Amino acid sequence: MNKMQKAMRELAEMDELAARTSPIHALHPAAKLIAAIAYILVTLSFGKYDLSGLVPMVLWPILLFQISGTEVRTCFYKLRIVLPLVMAVGLFNPIFDRSAAAQLGGVVISGGVISMLTLMLKGLFCLMASFLLMATTPIDLLCAALRQLHVPKMLVTLLLLTYRYVGVMTEELAVMTEAYLLRAPGQKGIHISAWGSFLGQLLLRSMDRAQELYSSMLLRGYHQHFHYAGIRPFRARDALYLLGCILFFLLLRRVNIAQMLGGTLVG
């Protein structure tokens, strides 16, 4: 399976996840979007040594995973993209920051190790938040919510149109790549002699296709106004969910629950 086929499978997987039903899926997309952004903001606002304060933030995504019936495994698969850069930056922390920050048994843990772990947890939590948003919200509804939040029409329409064409283009390129590689056995990629023509040919064809697409849009009555998916109004339970989430995040930000629980137990 080549890269493009994998990407298509990933897109289809996200679409399938978003198409299911659960109490979280039923919420208004705007509430879910704002809650996800608030969660990421609060997660990022933790200090770089505040590992014990950050750990309880895991409760919100875990709760959402459970209520929405989403498998955590799918989310971890996506970590392969986020973690390398975060690791590349974070792995230097233990080298440059050697100040002793904590002691466990006889082992002194340096500040660098704590800040590295904090950074990685932040990466994981932020990924889970945006993954949960997309796994419980179809793109059409998200775009409709973006319009309600006054994101410019041109940008939202472009996002929706591009998303629809990403599938078509990726599939076409996947077939082209497969065909090329079958005729060039043992070759890892596109040879320099075909660098321009390989994508260029598809590009020219696509530009013509875009013109046809515009004509067909006009025939169906497009007057520079795009009809978005029918989105229900923002109800009290959406507001309640959003308020509950934000209060929960603020509580976790203000009170170090891990430290408190540990303190009462250890004394």
Partner 1 sequence: MHMADALLAPAVAATMYAASGVTAGISIHKLKKDDEPQKLPVMAVTAALVFAGQMINYTIPGTGSSGHMCGGMLLSALLGPQAGFLSMIVILAIQCLFFADGGLLALGANVWNMAFYGCFVGYYLIWRPIMRSRWFGEGRSAQRARIIAAAIIGCIATLQLGAFSVVLETSLSGIAELPFGAFVALMQPIHLAIGLVEGLITAAVLVFVFEFRPELLQGVERAEGENSKRSLKTVVAILAVVALVVGGGLSLLASSNPDGLEWALFGNAEEGYAENMGLDEEDFGVSSKAADTAGAIQEKTSFLPDYAFSGSDSAAGTTVSGIVGAAMVAGVAILICLAGGFFRKKKKTD
Question: Site residues for partner 1, window 164-183 (CB under 8 A)?
Answer: 164-166, 168-170, 172-173, 177
Stretch 13-32 residues interacting with partner 1 (CB under 8 A): 14
Is position 67 an interface residue for partner 1 (rule: CB under 8 A)? yes
Q: How far apart are CA 262 and CA 267, in angstroms?
A: 8
The bridge status of strand 100-104 relative to strand 107-110 is antiparallel
State which residue, 91 or 235, has the beta carbon closest to partner 1: 91
Q: How far is the CB of 51 from partner 1 (least distance, A)?
A: 7
Q: How far apart are CA 24 and CA 250, in angstroms?
A: 21
- DSSP annotation string for 39-68: HHHHHHHS-TT-HHHHGGGGHHHHHHHHHH
Size of the site for partner 1 (CB under 8 A): 119
Stretch 81-120 residues interacting with partner 1 (CB under 8 A): 81-82, 85-86, 89-90, 92-93, 95-97, 99-104, 108-109, 111-112, 114-115, 119-120
Tell me which of 26, 62, 179, 251 binds partner 1, using CB under 8 A: 62
Tokens of 216: 């067909």
Q: How far apart are CA 144 and CA 139, in angstroms?
A: 9
Tell me which of 34, 138, 199, 229 binds partner 1, using CB under 8 A: 199
Q: How far is the CB of 228 from partner 1 (least distance, A)?
A: 15
Angle at 72 between CA 149 and CA 163, to 5 degrees: 40
